[in-house]
Amino acid sequence: MTHSNTIAAIATAPGQGGIGIIRVSGRALLSLVQQLIARDMPPRTAVFTPFLDADLRPIDEGIALFFPAPHSYTGEDVLELQGHGGTIVMRQLLERCLALGARLARPGEFTERAFLNGRMDLLQAEGVADLIEASTAQAARAALRSLTGDFSSLIQDLSEKTVSLRVLVEGVLDFPEEDVEWLAESHANARLTELRNALESALASTRLGTLLREGIQVVLIGAPNVGKSSLLNALAGRELAIVTDIPGTTRDAVRDQIEIDGMPVHVIDTAGIRETDDPVEKIGIARTWTHIEQADLALVLFDINQPQSPSTLRLLERLPKQLKRLSVLNKVDICVAPELSFQQPDVLRVSAKTGLGLSALKAAIAQKVGWHLAGEGLFTARARHIKALELAAVHVANASEVTQQLELYAEELRLAHEALGSITGVMTSDDLLGEIFSRFCIGK
């Protein structure tokens, strides 16, 4: 697919900088290049040159690079101008490109064109955005694996396994002289089992990849004065939340991002849950329950000197049953009474004040969400990838139930193949493409 119009955008971050970059892409840029630079541009060669306005006066000077189609990022002619990173200079240079017939690019449009012109598949395109947004070094490495095709290769392998089964089943349908026994001789059932196992393995890796990209939401909950704010400060390594002995000090959520073995963890300190007549505190407690509903994991804090307080027990009864949780006994540095009656599972003992037990707590968080199973070969993934793989797995499971009904067997395999194709963009709606690329930054 090609596009008839030329697009341009500032590709560097807003504000002043040592270097600013303008990127232009279109089907035929030679005319624009000649008017802007007034000289021939050898392909893929850096040229130091002035950038000219309509009266041939320099707007700026810098490096120009010209990439003729199809050997460019977008698959079209691409011109890159590297000038001084002043706000006014960049704006003037962009306006000059627009005056020469380009239009302002939409967010993500350069990468969208790369996808539509066959320069990369949809997983690789999403890897571009993930690499830019990576919040940990491991997330950046994983995004690069997606960008360079590791995730695409996995989906391609699943697609090939599905296609080979479809060929067998539809071959029997197309040639009635063949029969189901021929499928048995072709080990169709064994191939179907292999495909199911491969999908399960891919789903496990993809779920971990989603954790790496999006991180997890960990909410700190408990009665007032159990040390939630102190624990947030200890995990973050800095003073984020106000800590006092006064119940109800935390009125609204305070959050920070930490890293556990390369996984982003969004830790949210919440208002202590208790009965109160304070209208502001009531709002904070209501927001606490909202954060609880959205969390991936709850750290339920107890004061080790009074672990089974009535307010904490009521809190435990109200927690969503599906919410993963860890029980944390805080203030072990000032323990004065043994917690013999404490019966909560997954109990950890920490001191937010001294840091005792924090390493074990971080390890427990990682294990609770399955991060301990992650290896170095991870790639970044998104919720839509999981949904598509789950859908493919459902159709393959359905196929295993109807192996004697060849029309249904073939249809389930077709639907599984379609679900896999939606991941790489082989079969993707325009609405989905618009949603994906609109999240990119302008100029990428």
Q: Are residues 348 and 312 in the same domain?
A: yes
pLDDT of residue 249: 44
Q: Are residues 295 and 234 in the same domain?
A: yes
How many domains is the chain built from?
Answer: 3
Q: Is the pLDDT of residue 228 over 80?
A: yes
253 vs 51, more confident: 51
Mean pLDDT calculated for residue range 103-109:
93
Alpha carbon distance 408, 395 (integer Å): 10
Domain assignment of residue 2, yes or no: no
Mean pLDDT calculated for residue range 255-281:
74
Q: pLDDT tens digit string along 127-170?
A: 998 998 888 888 899 999 999 999 999 999 999 999 888 888 88
Q: Of 326, 344, 373, which marks where a domain is finished?
A: 373
404 vs 159, more confident: 159
What is the identity of the amino acid at 229? S
Minimum mean pLDDT range among 159-173, 196-210, 257-271, 342-356: 342-356
Alpha carbon distance 410, 423 (integer Å): 21
Q: Are residues 395 and 327 in the same domain?
A: no
Q: Are residues 55 and 89 in the same domain?
A: yes
Q: Are 377 and 359 in contact (CB under 8 A)?
A: no
Q: Are residues 47 and 192 in the same domain?
A: no
Q: What is the DSSP string of 262-330?
A: TEEEEEEE-PPP-----HHHHHHHHHHHHHHHH-SEEEEEEETTSTT-HHHHHHHHHS-TTSEEEEEEE
Cα–chain center distance at 409: 34
Average pLDDT, the chain: 84
What is the identity of the amino acid at 337? A
Q: Is the pLDDT of residue 219 over 80?
A: yes
Domain with residue 421: its CATH number is 1.20.120.430
> Which value, in Å, is the radius of gyration of the alpha carbons in the chain?
29
Q: Are residues 252 and 181 in the same domain?
A: no
The domain in which residue 66 lies consists of: 7-120
pLDDT of residue 159: 92
Q: pLDDT tens digit string along 357-390?
A: 999 999 999 999 888 777 777 888 998 999 999 9
Domain with residue 90: its CATH number is 3.30.1360.120
Q: pLDDT tens digit string along 299-308?
A: 888 888 776 7
Q: What is the pTM of this model?
A: 0.75
Q: Is the pLDDT of residue 82 over 90?
A: yes
Res. 230 pLDDT band, cuts 50 70 90: confident
**Cα torsion 285, 257, 350, 375: sign:** positive
Domain with residue 308: its CATH number is 3.40.50.300
Closest CA to 308 of 230, 222, 219: 222
Q: Of 74, 98, 120, which marks where a domain is finished?
A: 120
Q: Are residues 156 and 20 in the same domain?
A: no
301 Cβ contact partners less than 8 Å away, ≥ 6 residues apart: 220, 221, 222, 226, 227, 228, 231, 328, 330
Q: Of 352, 373, 394, which marks where a domain is finished?
A: 373
Domain assignment of residue 443, yes or no: no
Burial class (CB in 10 A: 0-12, 13-18, 19+), 11: buried
Q: Are 161 and 191 in contact (CB under 8 A)?
A: yes
Q: Is the pLDDT of residue 67 over 90?
A: yes
Res. 243 pLDDT band, cuts 50 70 90: very low
Share of the chain above pLDDT 70, in %: 83
pLDDT of residue 261: 87
Q: Is the pLDDT of residue 431 over 80?
A: no
- Ramachandran category for residue 376: left, alpha or beta (phi over 0 → left; psi -120 to 50 → alpha): alpha
